[in-house]
């Protein structure tokens, strides 16, 4: 394995010059920079970023805690975070925490041990847990898709999303609605779409019921029992507002398998606008979260704190109703 000494010798420059090229600091002539880059390519030299981070006490890597990778929503978020981080000259280190608070603390500890310069978290936990973590985290800390007190937070306008979805279903003639929410005991910002659904139904005197899904249960097999129960217990149901597109597409599939016509017999609205939502049949009406804006705001907030700037305490990103063929 080539070393920095090998690069310096091949390029005919000092180790200090190679270091200046790698760190992009200090004066280096264009000729010397070209020679160093050429030597690194020829020797297949790759600097050890972790070792350099340990020497400096920090690096240009942003840590990101995600609950899942196998959920298309979080995959979209992850992709946009990495794209925006690269545009800012930063790398990204992901850590997955689908479990409880202990696993979350382990993720944070792992990222801190990796000398990240800041952390973006997306995990839903109690305010008490986050307060304890933030107090000891020691690096810039930003909440994405969560609204945490004392932490710069970036969220979608879930209240508006709930209003748009519910009003759309009611405008299409629905009189008996069901909303499938996430776990309401976690107390997360996404619950605002549920609260908005309830308020809109009350205003319009529309019958409604709410069913909670478990966030870790995302596959057809996992949610089959819940969806079957919803259809069995609500024979008069003519509209469904699901808290995410995965569950919404499962409802579409189940309804078609039971002989329902969509949208004549039942109308379905999802949330997120993941890529598959426009590809199923019939294409899903949904509330689109702006992945690019969410990720850009989160990365910008971390970078601002790293550079001593004060980010917004709360940034709310607009959502949009995407009308397709399920309504």
Instruction: Classify each residue of 300-320 as buried b or exposed e, where b means 16 or more C-beta atoms within 10 Å of its C-beta.
Output: bbbbbbbeeeebeeebbbebe
pLDDT at residue 110, rounded to an integer: 86
Looking up tokens 């024979």, which residue turns up?
235
Note the pLDDT of residue 130: 67
CA triplet 137, 125, 150: central angle to 5 degrees?
50
pLDDT of residue 217: 47
For domain 158-289, give the CATH superfamily. Response regulator (3.40.50.2300)
Output the CA–CA distances (angstroms, integers) from residue 109 to 88, 129, 137, 299, in the order listed.
25, 14, 8, 20
Q: Measured in whole angstroms, how far is the alpha carbon of residue 277 from the centre of its chain?
A: 17
Cβ(41)–Cβ(72) below 8 Å: no
Pairing of strands 239-242, 207-212: unpaired
Q: What is the arrangement of strands in the sheet containing 267-272, beginning at the earlier edge strand?
A: 207-212, 176-181, 239-242, 267-272, 285-289, 319-322
Write down the pLDDT at residue 22: 78
Matching CATH number, 4-47, of 3.20.20.70, 1.10.260.40, 3.30.1330.90, 3.90.1150.10: 1.10.260.40
β partners of residue 141: 119
Q: How high is the pLDDT of residue 109?
A: 84
The pairing of beta strand 319-322 with beta strand 285-289: antiparallel
Q: Can 4-47 and 57-156+291-319 be said to share one CATH topology?
A: no
CA angle, residues 88, 92, 97, in degrees to nearest 5 = 140
Contact between 39 and 33 under an 8 Å Cβ cutoff? The reply is: no
Q: What is the pLDDT of residue 45?
A: 78
How much is the pLDDT for 196? Answer: 96
Rounded to a whole number of angstroms, the distance between the first and last alpha carbons of the chain is: 60
What pLDDT, on a 0 to 100 scale, did the predictor assign at position 25? 72
**142 bridge partner residues:** 120
Burial category of 47 from C-beta neighbours within 10 Å (exposed 0-12, middle 13-18, buried 19 and up)? middle
Angle at Cα 80 formed by Cα 101 and Cα 85, nearest 5°? 90
Q: Kindly give the confidence (pLDDT) of every residue in the chain, 327 residues in length, as a single tens digit, with 9 standing for 90 and above.
A: 678 888 888 889 988 888 888 777 778 888 888 998 898 888 887 776 555 554 554 578 999 999 887 888 999 999 999 999 999 889 999 998 766 677 777 888 888 888 899 999 887 666 666 667 777 778 889 999 888 777 899 999 999 999 999 999 999 999 999 999 977 666 567 789 999 999 999 999 999 999 998 655 455 566 888 999 999 999 999 999 999 999 999 999 999 999 999 999 999 999 999 999 999 999 999 999 999 999 999 999 999 999 899 899 999 999 999 999 999
Which residues partner with 241 through β-bridges? 179, 269
- Structural domain boundaries of the chain? 4-47, 57-156+291-319, 158-289
Predicted confidence at residue 250, as pLDDT, reads 93
> CATH 3.40.50.1820: does it fit domain 57-156+291-319?
no
CB contact at 8 A, 178 and 237: yes
């Amino acid at each position: 394995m080539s070393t920095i000494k090998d690069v310096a010798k091949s390029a005919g420059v000092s180790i200090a010059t190679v270091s200046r090229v790698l760190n992009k600091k200090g004066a280096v002539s264009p000729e010397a920079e070209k020679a160093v880059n050429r030597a690194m390519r020829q020797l297949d030299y790759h600097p050890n970023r972790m070792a350099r981070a340990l020497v400096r006490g920090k690096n240009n890597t942003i840590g990101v805690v995600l609950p899942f990778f196998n959920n298309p929503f979080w995959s979209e978020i992850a992709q946009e975070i990495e794209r925006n981080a690269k545009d800012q000259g930063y790398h990204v280190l992901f850590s997955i925490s689908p479990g409880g608070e202990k696993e979350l603390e382990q993720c944070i500890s792992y990222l801190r041990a990796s000398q990240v310069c800041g952390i973006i978290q997306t995990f839903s936990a109690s305010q008490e847990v986050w307060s304890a973590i933030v107090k000891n985290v020691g690096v810039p800390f930003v909440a994405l898709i969560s609204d945490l007190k004392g932490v710069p937070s970036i969220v979608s306008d879930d209240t508006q999303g709930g209003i748009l979805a519910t009003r759309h279903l009611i405008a299409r003639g629905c009189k008996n609605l069901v909303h499938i929410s996430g776990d309401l005991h976690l107390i997360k910002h996404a619950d605002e779409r549920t609260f908005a659904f309830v308020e809109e139904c009350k205003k319009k005197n529309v019958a409604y019921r709410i069913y909670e899904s478990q966030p870790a249960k995302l596959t057809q097999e996992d949610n089959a029992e819940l969806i079957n129960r919803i259809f069995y217990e609500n024979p008069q149901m003519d509209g469904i507002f699901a808290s995410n597109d995965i569950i919404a597409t499962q409802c579409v599939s189940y309804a078609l398998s039971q002989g329902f016509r969509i949208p004549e017999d039942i109308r379905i609205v999802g949330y997120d606008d993941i890529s598959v939502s426009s590809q199923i049949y019939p294409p899903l009406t949904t509330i689109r979260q702006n992945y690019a804006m969410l990720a850009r705001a989160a990365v910008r907030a971390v970078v601002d704190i790293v550079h001593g700037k004060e980010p917004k305490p709360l940034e709310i990103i607009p959502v949009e109703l995407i009308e397709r063929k399920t309504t």
